[in-house]
Amino acid sequence: MQRSVVVVAGVSLAIVALVAAGAVGAAVGFALGSRIPAPTARGERWVAGEGPDKIALVRLLGPISQEGGGLLPFGPAVSARRVVELLERARRDAAVKAVILELNTPGGSVVGSARIHGEVLRLRRAGKPVVVLMTEVAASGGYYVATAADRIVADPSTLTGSIGVLVVLPNLQEFNRRIGVRTVVFKSGRFKDMGNPDRPVTPEEEAIFRALVREAYERFVGVVAQGRRMDRARVLQLADGRIYTGTQAHRLGLVDALGSLDDAVALARELARLPRARLVEYTGGGWLEALASLRFPWPGGQVPSVDQPFSLQYLMVP
C-alpha cells in the first residue's frame, strides 16, 4: 500500500513538472516572438536579420580552380563550378534581393575566375545587386571576380591587387639527371611538347608563352577598366602585379569602401532598397566533400598532372 502511494506521488510530481516546463517554454517563446528566425531551406544557414526578403551570403575561400581539390600553398582549392552553382541558386531564388560575395582567395585559374565573374554579372542583370566583401586576401583572380560587383568593401588590411597573369613551368632536368631518369618524346610537331619539364624552354616557345600571358593580361586589364569605370592607361599603371592593402586600394579607386560584413550588409540593403532582410549563407557540400577532393602536392606546391602540365593563372604567388 505504501509503495503504491509513493508511485502515485512520483507520477503526480512528474506531471506537474512537465506542465510547468511547458508553461515556461510557452512564455519564453511568446516573449522572444519574432526574434526567433524562421526555418531556412536546405543548404541555407540563418546568419542575422529578419523579414521575408533575403540577402544571400556566398563565400569563396581558397585558391580558385575549375573543379576544386588540390592541396596548394594557400590550402585546398575551391571549385569555381560550385561557386557558380550557389550564385545561380541566388539568382533563381525570388526571395533573394541582393548577394554578398565574401572573398578570401589569392586567385587561381583564369577560366575559373572568368566563370565566376560572368555569373556575378548575370546576377546584376537579373536586378540583384552584388556586394563583394574582401577579408584577408582577394588578389589576382580574386580581384578579377570582384570587378563584376556593384560595390567592393574591403578590410583595411586586406591584401588585394596583384593584377596580372603567370604561367609556372617546373624544370626537373637537373633533378632527373641526378636520379638517372631520361624522358624520350616522340612528337608530331616541334611545339607539341611545350613546357616539357625535362628540357629548357626554347626562344620560340618562350615567345608563344609570352603571347598567351599577354592576351590574358589584356583581358584582365579590360575587365578592371570596365568594372571600375577607370581609364585603361590608369589601370596599366596599377596592374604591374604588385599587391595593395585595402586602405591603399581604396585610395587608388580599386575598392569602394573599407569595412566589415556589417557594412557590406548595410550597403546591400541600401542598393536593394530593403528596410530589413534576413542574411542567409548558402552552404556548400561540407568538410567531407572537401576532404574527398584533396590531392596531395608535389614538393614545392606544384601538383604534377598528365592532362594539365601547366595553365594560365590569375594567382598571387606566396
Which are the catalytic amino acids?
140, 192
196, three cell numbers: 616539357
The string of DSSP codes covering the chain is: -HHHHHHHHHHHHHHHHHHHHHHHHHHHHHHHGGGSPPPPPTTEEEEEE-SS-EEEEEEEES-EESS-EEEETTEEEEEHHHHHHHHHHHHH-TTEEEEEEEEEE-EEEHHHHHHHHHHHHHHHHTT--EEEEEEEEEETHHHHHHTTSSEEEE-TT-EEE----B------HHHHHHHT-------SSTTTTTT-TTSPPPHHHHHHHHHHHHHHHHHHHHHHHHHTT--HHHHHHH-SS-EEEHHHHHHHTSSSEE--HHHHHHHHHHHHT-SS-EEEEEP-SHHHHHHHT--PPPTTS----SS-S---EEE---
Q: Amino acid letter at 318?
A: P
